[in-house]
Amino acid sequence: MKRFLYLLLLIFLSTNAAFAGLPWQQDKAKNEHKVVQSEQFQTITNQANVLYAENDIKSAFNLLLSIPEDERTAQNWLLLGNILQDQGKFDETVFMYNRAIQTDENYYKAYYNLGNIYLKDGRPNMAVENYKKVIKLKPEYAYAHYNLGCAYIKLGKYGKAKYELLTAIDLKNTVADFHYNLAYVYKQQNKEKQAKIYLEYYNKLIENQI
């Protein structure tokens, strides 16, 4: 079993997303730098989000750039980073995600996307650092645990990888890749029985998707 899959999911923006019960709602002092956007620029933000959803990337990007930097929200910076990542511009993407964090240090999506960037770029230690920050802010986010597990696999830390993958499965047990990578970890630990169990579960999930 040589391969294992990375589920590197960029979290795209939703203007009506609700984040109930998250840690940063309980600690207002940490939100001192969060930008509250004026109505004028919120309208531009909404237009840019619509254009991005419609795959009019260039227009969305230009609209976001028309917002003054001190009026840009963490979501604005994140979307700029997503667009640049689609264009393969690594350094610029990292810059935008870091600006999102500077704007709102509790914006877990920026840490998550940074982790994905670093994992894909072969820098698993940096990925681990960012996924841990995601989990601190949003411990119930299964994909953060999963991708942290993948980063630990890259580092050969199979015990830590197993823990994160089991946590991901506890939170969301219907994602086939979670089970496949856990089977891979058990295989690396010479635990053939457990590897077989999770590989069989993976195969069942794949069959149900066909």
Position 27 in a domain? no
> Which CATH number does the domain housing residue 202 bear?
1.25.40.10
Look up residue 94 and give its two tokens: 């990292």
pLDDT of residue 201: 96
Position 205 in a domain? yes
Position 169 in a domain? yes
Position 163 in a domain? yes
Of residues 209 and 18, more confidently modeled:
209
Spatial distance between the Cα atoms of 59 and 65, rounded to a whole number of angstroms: 10
Q: Is this model's pTM higher than 0.75 or not?
A: yes
Place of tokens 């309980």: 26
By residue range, what is the domain housing residue 190? Answer: 137-210
Position 37 in a domain? no
8-state DSSP, 69: G
Position 162 in a domain? yes
8-state DSSP, 199: H
Position 125 in a domain? no
Number of domains in the chain: 1
Percent of the chain with pLDDT over 70: 83
pLDDT of residue 33: 55
Task: Tell me what the mean pLDDT of segment 199-209 comes to.
Answer: 94
